[in-house]
Each structure stands twice: as structure tokens, then as C-alpha cells.
Structure 1
């Protein structure tokens, strides 16, 4: 494996000055035919289960050649699904071993709406969910030194992996062990997908927060309200969720906040929805004004009634999904209502910082 990677890194850029005839070019034939066989043999991949494929481009030499390992039950193409890939930098200073994702579905679905941010979001969700060591796979991001659309997509879609610089290419044993370990992470991902196809799984990942929040809002309906002293509170513990480890939210504290608001929307009390079958009151939802995802920035709990506002479902969706101007007005109003309470609970934050938190 080492000699194969070393040969590609040291010789590839000398070939791209020639016409693109991959079937006639010796290095190209080696990369397309021999390198996949080397990977298969070195880690004893079952070809009934895995497909190994390399690419030097289509029509023209690619700036970032790659060789991928596909679980056939997930995908057989780098355009969709999830796969392991060796990605070579344009400057050939090194190569990345990456657990990556096909981007065609996201590019098409979010065209014109910054699809790469969605690729990054999927990668972040999987980083939180999958169990792997940063000692094994420290490359939390990758830099292919290329500005082509494909390269930018690979970089945005990277989940976890490791970088091998040319001057410090590991020996075969380490390369083989790294690949075997990443295959185990790949198998974890496959198990997490369950029976979902890749498109449905991506949609599921991108909507995990809303799925879990729906359950949280249901829990609020059922519990008795807490009685929290209006003083700074201890930081809550983390708990494992379908999104990975997250700061724990207490439904009873949220119930305390919506009850204090008399089950009315704090944006506009005339936003009446329907009578809840559980509480017998106007149905509202609880929202943490300072997002719980920022808890690590505070030494006191964000899960306190002073940081939780009561919103009708429409205003709740607006504060998550509206355009910047509308979000600005909603946040500004809620901040003015909660500023003193935030101070009392020891979690005051400048309004400008709160805007940043909501992007």
C-alpha cells in the first residue's frame, strides 16, 4: 500500500500535462487497475460485499484523483451514499483517508440554497453519532488544495479520517490497520442507517433536531412543572441521543416556563392555536432562547425557565427557519422580555452574540 500511494503522489502531476488517454497511460492504468487490487488483497476485502474503484477523471485529468471502497449494500458510486476514499491533494503533498458521502442528492435538493452547508451538517451529525477515536482519525477537516466543485464537495462532505503527508507515509502495517479501523466505523454507519435508503437517511439526519424536539414538546405536555429558584443553576449533564451526546433538557423546567407565560405565545398573546387534550390549555411550545448547543460556553445552566420562552408553533418554526430580517425581530423582542431573567440566572449574553448563534 505504501509504495502504491507513494507512486501516485510522486508521479501523478507529471502525467496531467499529457493528453487525457487513461487507457494508454501507464500510471493511469496502474492507478485504475492495480491499486484497487492492492487494497483488496492487503486488507482481504470480500469483493462480494465491497467494490473498490479508482478515478483519474472523466474527459480530463482530475486535480484530485481518488480510490474508493464502497459497501455494495449502501452504494457503488461516489455520487451517492457513503463510502471510504483515499483523496489525493492537488499539490500531491499527501493523501487523505476519508469516510465521505456522495453529494448528488443534496446538491439537487438544496440547489441555490448553499448545499455544501447541508453536506457539512450531515458530516457533523455523523461525527457526533459514530463511535471513533480522534487518535485514530484526527483529520476533522480536509484540505485538497483545489478549488474545483468536486474538491469543495469532498471537503464539505468529509466525516472523519486521517492525513498521510508524503514525507511521513506510514508503513504497510499502519496503513492496513487504519483502513480496517475505518471500515469498522463504516459498518457502524451502515447499522445506524438500518433499512433507510441513503436519501431518506440524509433527510433523517438533517431533521434530527426537529424529530427530537417533537418528542420533547410532547413530554412537556405530560409532566408536572418544576419550581426553579431564580438564581444561577448547575450545568446539566450530557445524555446520549440519536444525534450523539447532547446537553440534557428537563421537560418539567420547560413546563414551568410555558405555565408562567399562561400558555400564551410570548411573541403575540393573540396567537391562539388549539386546546391541548392533555393540559386543557392553549397549545404552545417551549424554546430555549440561548440554544442549548452553546452550553459549553457558559458556567451556569441554560436549561432554566428564564431562558425558555413560550411560542405558538408558527413563531417557533419562524425563529428556526425564517429569513434573517424576521429572525432578527423575533429574537430582539424575546431578548428584551428575558434580559433581566437571563441576568438573574447568570447567563446574560449580548444581543449581538445571540444573533450570531442563530446565524
Structure 2
């Protein structure tokens, strides 16, 4: 684990003066370093680790990010923990940060302001010790991405090159920031629900809803299962014409009580149903939101 920090600090600036293509250190950022971090992650189905020394050319601030695929499968969007190296290799930040590319594309000149506001909102949702975490980071770079990563920082720890953590400390710090990441995931109000649940059960409900609203998963489910509601059998194009094309919602069938916090496995064919908006809302009011037969009976008897 220590090598993830030590080797780039010692060699990155030297390697950066060499050809990018086929470079051994660049290859380690893409494969070896992420693989090392993956070893401490229990749920490899839910998280993926990606690293980058740049695309086509060296970046000033290389990074290694841990992505919760229920939030984002791309470092260009969402939020995630990331090890990001200062441009002069004088130190490294372990930062809970935000994907900047998507924000830059959507907000243009206002992107930095948006990232700062979002960072403040995220910080308000987690209980962290301000003595142990930094609010501001300085990547010692004038590049656009570096400026935006600085603005997007939620909380961070800093490791100067003179005092890099050992493997045990780095593992502990990564585990702690992953806990903040998970807490932030479940405190996201955009995935609120009207169920009177608390504690562990509330986290299960939010995990259930987040699985359903994961864009990548839902697209795959719809492509596999089609666009006819599996309960009331409505197909939106038959009623609304072209504006109803490809409109349906994906519903995760696994009972909430069986969802483990921080882990999930999905079978696109058997773990999901495609439902119209009404049936999707109503099935969540059942004691067992996986019971398609009961919902069909309710419709039949009304």
C-alpha cells in the first residue's frame, strides 16, 4: 500500500519528462495502484477503483478514485473518495471530492461556484472532526481541472512527502473516508422517501431506491425486459404515442429486509420488474414491494 504514495512522489516528475505511451508508472496508475486499493474493499460488486496519470499525455495531478457505482460509474461526475497528488509531488490529498467534468460542461463559468456550494451542502450532511480534516486543498496547479478539484473538495487529509503514512495508517484512513462516503450516500435528500423507517431500515430503503434510480442499471433492465408494465400491462406508446416511447420504470424486487448495507448483487432479469409510474408508486406501499401478484390482484378487484 505504501508504494501507492511513495513511488509517484519519488518518480512522477522524472517519468513525466519521458514519453507517455507505454510508460511503466503510467500503467501502474491505471492498474496496479487501483488493484492495491481494491484489496481493502469488502464489496467489490458495489465499488470500483480507477486511476489516471492523464489521457494521451501526462496530467499535472494524477489521481486514484473509489467509485460507488450506485452514485457514479465515472470519475467525471458524482462524488467519491480520491487520492490526488500535488503537481510538484510535495504531497498527496486523500479527499472526498466531486467529479468536475460534468459540472464544467453544465455550468461553464459558474462551475467553481457550484462545486463550492455543493461541497458545503455535503459537509453539512456528515459528522466529521474538523481538527482531523481539511476544508481547503491546494494542488499547486493552475490547470482548469486542478482549480475545480480544489473547489470540489468536501473534506480531506493531507500527507506531505516528508511524513507519508504507513500501510496500516493509509488503510485506516481509506476505511474512515469510505464510511463518510457511505454516510453521505444515505443522507442524500434527493433520494428521500415517505416511509416511517429509522436506522438500519432507512438505510436499506435508500439503498433500494438508489439501485432503482441507477441510470446504467435501469437502462439495461428496460432493454432486457421491454417497456410494458408487468402489473397493469400498460405500454405508454399505445396511449401517448411517440412521447411515450421507451418510457417505463425499473423496480428492484429484492425485499428491503434482505438488503445488506454497503453491499448488493443484482440479476437484471430476475431481480427487477419494469413498471408504469402508478404501479411503481403503489408497489412501494405494499408490505412486500416484491409482490407483483398481490398488486395485480388489487387492480383486478377494484
Q: For this structure pair, what is the TM-score category when the shorter chain's length is used for normalisation?
A: 0.5 to 0.7
Q: CA RMSD in A?
A: 1.7
SS of the residue corresponding to residue 187 of structure 2 reads helix
SS of the residue corresponding to residue 13 of structure 1 reads helix
Identify unmatched segments of 5+ residues in structure 2.
192-209, 214-302
Residue 26 of structure 2 is matched in structure 1 by 28
**Structure 2 CA distance for aligned equivalents of residues 103 and 28 of structure 1:** 22
Quick check: 1:52–1:67 contact (8 Å CA) kept in 2?
Answer: yes
**Structure 2 CA distance for aligned equivalents of residues 135 and 160 of structure 1:** 11
Counterpart mapping for 1:109-120 below 5 A = 109-112=106-109, 114-120=110-116
Worse-matched range after superposition: 96-105 or 179-188: 96-105
How many pairs align?
193
Match of 2:127 among 127, 131, 153: 131
Offset of residue 18 of structure 1? 1.2
Quick check: 1:64–1:144 contact (8 Å CA) kept in 2?
Answer: yes
Counterpart mapping for 1:304-319 below 5 A = none
Quick check: 2:48–2:67 contact (8 Å CA) kept in 1?
Answer: yes
Residue 47 of structure 2 is matched in structure 1 by 50
Counterpart mapping for 1:319-330 below 5 A = none
Offset of residue 135 of structure 1? 3.5
Aligned: 1:80 with 2:72? no
Offset of residue 44 of structure 1? 3.4
The 1:176/1:135 distance shift into structure 2, 3 A limit, reads farther
Match of 2:148 among 140, 150, 153: 153
Quick check: 1:8–1:31 contact (8 Å CA) kept in 2?
Answer: no
**Structure 2 CA distance for aligned equivalents of residues 175 and 101 of structure 1:** 21
Quick check: 1:136–1:178 contact (8 Å CA) kept in 2?
Answer: no
Give TM-score scaled by structure 2 length.
0.61
**Structure 2 CA distance for aligned equivalents of residues 59 and 4 of structure 1:** 22
Quick check: 1:80–1:105 contact (8 Å CA) kept in 2?
Answer: yes
Quick check: 1:86–1:96 contact (8 Å CA) kept in 2?
Answer: yes
Match of 2:166 among 171, 191, 204: 171
Identify unmatched segments of 5+ residues in structure 1.
201-359
Aligned: 1:96 with 2:93? yes
Match of 1:63 among 60, 63, 72: 60
**Structure 2 CA distance for aligned equivalents of residues 44 and 69 of structure 1:** 10
Quick check: 2:100–2:145 contact (8 Å CA) kept in 1?
Answer: no
Superposed CA offset, 1:306-338 (max 9, x none): xxxxxxxxxxxxxxxxxxxxxxxxxxxxxxxxx
**Structure 2 CA distance for aligned equivalents of residues 120 and 194 of structure 1:** 18
Larger RCO: Structure 1 or Structure 2 (Cα < 8 Å, ≥ 6 residues apart)?
2
Offset of residue 195 of structure 1? 5.9
**Structure 2 CA distance for aligned equivalents of residues 110 and 29 of structure 1:** 33
Offset of residue 171 of structure 1? 1.4
**Structure 1 CA distance for aligned equivalents of residues 190 and 131 of structure 2:** 31
**Structure 1 CA distance for aligned equivalents of residues 47 and 131 of structure 2:** 26
SS of the residue corresponding to residue 111 of structure 1 reads helix
Offset of residue 194 of structure 1? 5.6
Quick check: 1:66–1:86 contact (8 Å CA) kept in 2?
Answer: yes
